[in-house]
Structure 1
Amino acid sequence: MSLSSEAIQLITDTALVAAGKALLTHTPTAILPEGAKVVDLEKYQAGRSRFRGVLATNSLVDFSAYVTERAIEGARGFINQDDMTCTLIFNLGTDVVPGHADDRAVLRLKPSAGYKAAQEIPGRAMSQKDLSDWIEDWNTSLTATDEAGQPMSIVKAIAAVRTITIKASSESDHAVSETRTSRSAMDQIEATSKETLPAALVSSVVPYEGLSVRNITLRVSVITSGVQPMLKLRWVGEEVQREEIAQEFKSVLDKHIKDAAKLTLGCFDSK
């Protein structure tokens, strides 16, 4: 007599229920019917089998306090300089005894309002009104200098930007000899202002919480190719300053965390 597949499945399920087979895993599991599926029984316990979770914060102080408070042996932190983030893994483990790497703390520094404004403005072609309004909005953190590097008041810098005029002039040269005739022409376009135009704006800002004040020099240039003058700012030494800020980020974290975790520049993918 042959048995149907349904009958065989029923006999198997009955045997599993009767045996109540438990698996030798750290988190309690058991084989149950429905195709001998493995079921996690952790949710039925009074507590979790192990601590896990992710703390996400923008506060360097709170991140450091959390890591220091736990101070788990073998904790490792990985700093991403491009994103100004630090991912700290408490249960990474070792090659011999690897951990689950799911107990983490993630710090993502949030740029200050002034630093964000100083990053967004370079490279943009702006009208006189746009730039003068921007200077006025951030006047408390800005200083202006002339071509000689001498300081000038922000009020005069705003007035100079608002009163730019463009002057155009042409010059032609003619030369005649027995064998040839030559002609050259040169157009000159000059941007002037009733006030002395600022050569640079210096933004003094704390880029991120816990870091030191940075002086960001924004060189002013006037574009005279159009009907109306346009202005652009260029961040002088941008790459160098960004690297310095990233290095300071690691240094400040080291001071706050101390021996609670080892920090490394880079990213880690636990797969």
Structure 2
Amino acid sequence: MHILDDPRLSPRVAALLARARRGPSMPAVRIRELARAEASDKSEALVPHEAIEAMIRFEERYGGLWYPLITSNGMEHGLNGEATIYPSIDGWGFRGILDGDQTWPVDVLLDGRTVMTLAGQPRIINSSIVQRLEAHAQLAQVRGWPHVTLGVATEPGQEPVVAEARLPARDVEATGPADKWWSSNETAIHLKLHKWWGDEDIWAARCFARKAEDLPATVASVQHAVTGGVWMDEEWCGLCTHFRKPAQPCLPRGSRTA
């Protein structure tokens, strides 16, 4: 069943996809006709049967799906006339998603995890496409709230250490390798992996509060809860797509902080 026809979606994913569009998808017979495997040296390789089935499942579920998140570019899903799989350190994968906000492709592994490669360094960013959608849906729910973006640097391949007792409940459905969410009806915390190449990993720590007067306490709780990294000044808000002073709140019109 295509995801846009599925009545069992979580309410927040259904709200996210209320703005979605559905384009054409590749039929299974066409995927089987075009299926090919490209080895690491670019030579032809034997196509594993499970790879063909994974591409068919993906296309039947997500083919043609497009929805906006932060910018107007949107998230595009589908094989787009290709059925080629490529090897990686994490296994075989295929190009299935174009992240419009980052204007960059996302590969889908045969087990459903997703990989983005930047500066020649691949990184698993989602545990599944379902988790990716839940994370996007949670962001869509709170991105209009007053928020502050901080930065945390960690050792390569390491996640920040988080004392979760200081934060709202962990949002298990939305949390994956590159997205960590804690949320309540009034506040939300988002740790998002921003950079994973070079001498350190950089995580964006986004703090949200429904009421602007609650934002300073939310920021303070995150600064006490997150350890195992080095706090950094972050001048860019990827949600509002503009520069501001480090730790300066981004406020909807009419909001104020205490």
TM-score tier after normalising by the smaller chain length? under 0.3
Higher relative contact order (CA 8 A, sep 6+): 1
- TM-score w.r.t. structure 1 length? 0.22
- TM-score w.r.t. structure 2 length? 0.22
Name the one with the larger helix percent: 1
